[in-house]
Amino acid sequence: MNAARRSLLAAALGGAAAATLPATPARAASWQLRWSPSATADGLDAFETIEDDRADSHPAARPHIYRDGDNWRFNMHTVDRDTSTDRQRQEVTGCRTPSGYLKWLPGQTWRVTYSMFLPSTLKATSTFTHIMQMKQPGTGTSPIVVQSLRRVDGAQTIELKVFESDTLVGRTPLEPLHNKWTDVDFQIKIGDGTSGSVRWILKSGGSTVIDKAKSGVDTLLADRVRPKWGIYRSLGDSSGSLQNCHMLIGKMRAYQLV
């Protein structure tokens, strides 16, 4: 058999063998743990930045944000003021790891889970009271997603909204969640225009309180997305709900879908 015929035969056999090989199955995407801080071990080093009375309005009460057992505690007093004096803010931002902070980028899907304790003194208001936000880093940027305590027809509720489009993802009564621990599961696909999505799950006492999702929404302003936790509220409330209060957060985890 000459060299040319041997080459043709080898190519034919190789092609036939390749055609009979089974395709390699695609690996299913799964949640990969990226952040699992301990309040006891890490304290406020768990976060990228701390916004504790940044206007120096109530130095006698510092710190307003600190470790409380194996949880993080956020205190708010009626005399506290933010740099914009029509509102109050005690918040932490981002997810810091030993190798640096996590960057949530366009096209990625992230999930944060944690437990929160909302005392009855932390009430819903007629204006904004946010207890979790997704934002672009930098001053003066609008929220992307907000988890808020809001009065609706006089009733106290907790809700999740995509901020810019004022898209309500879900809403449920707040008072049954007062003075007990609630588990939060928040998921976000970071996308511009209509390529983003979110899912919001609350559980209390082992039972699901709400599980709502919204796709086709804008979840990106520019650069990256960064989570925030704490108490951020307007002083324009007309319901008489502003009191000295606090919030506890624990068991914080962040996962990336890869």
Question: Other C-beta atoms within 10 Å of 254: how many?
Answer: 22
| 26-55 as b/e: b if 16+ CB within 10 A | eeeeebeebbebebeebebebbbebbbbee
Q: Does residue 21 form part of some domain?
A: no
Rg of the chain (C-alpha set): 24
Tell me what pLDDT residue 25 has.
Answer: 72
User: What contacts 225, CB < 8 A, 6 or more positions away?
Assistant: 104, 105, 110, 134, 135, 136, 144, 188, 190, 219
Q: Is the dihedral of CA 72, 78, 83, 84 positive or negative?
A: positive
For 91-122, letters b (16+ CB in 10 Å) and e give bbbbbbeeeebbebebebbbbbbbebbbeeeb
- Structurally, the chain folds into a number of domains equal to 1
Query: Is 168 among the domain residues?
Result: yes
Give pLDDT, residue 90. 98
Q: What is the pLDDT of residues 135-167, one digit of tens each?
A: 999 777 899 999 999 999 999 999 999 999 999
Over residues 178-194, the pLDDT tens digits come to 999 999 999 999 999 99
pLDDT at 13: 40
How far apart CA 20 and CA 61 sit, in angstroms, is 73
pTM here is 0.89
Please count the CA atoms within 13 angstroms of the CA of 72 that sit on its side-chain side. 27
Q: Would residue 22 count as lying in a domain?
A: no
pLDDT, tens only, 208-239:
999 999 999 999 999 999 999 999 999 999 99
Percent of residues, the chain, with pLDDT higher than 90: 87
**Secondary structure in 3-state letters for the chain:** CCHHHHHHHHHHHHHHHHHHCCCCCCCCCCEEEEECCCHHHHHHHHCCEEEECCCCCCHHHCCCEEEECCEEEEEECCCCCCCCCCEEEEEEECCEECCEECCECCCCEEEEEEEEEECCCCCCECCCEEEEEEECCCCCCCEEEEEEEEEECCEEEEEEEECCCCEEEEEEECHHHECCEEEEEEEEECCCCCCEEEEEEEEECCEEEEEEEEEEECCCCCCCEEEEEEEEEECCCCCCCCCCEEEEEEEEEEEEEC
Closest CA to 155 of 119, 124, 118: 124
pLDDT band at 14 (very low <50, low <70, confident <90, very high): low
171 in a domain, yes or no?
Answer: yes
Q: Residue 131: inside a domain, yes or no?
A: yes
Residue 74: inside a domain: yes
For 20-77, how does the pLDDT look when each residue is reduced to its tens digit (9 = 90+)? 566 777 789 999 999 999 999 999 999 999 999 999 999 999 999 999 999 999 999 9
Instruction: Provide the token pair at 115.
Output: 């437990």
pLDDT band at 12 (very low <50, low <70, confident <90, very high): very low
In the prediction, which pLDDT does 10 show?
Answer: 46
Q: What is the CATH number of the domain that holds 219?
A: 2.60.120.200
Residue 100 domain boundaries: 29-257
Please check whether residue 20 lies inside any domain of the structure: no
| Residue 121 near residue 74, CB atoms below 8 Å | no
Domain membership of residue 70 (yes or no) is yes
Task: Give the per-residue pLDDT at 26.
Answer: 76
* pLDDT in the model for residue 21: 61
Confidence of residue 16 (pLDDT cuts 50, 70, 90): very low
Q: What is the pLDDT of residue 20?
A: 57
Mean pLDDT of the chain: 92
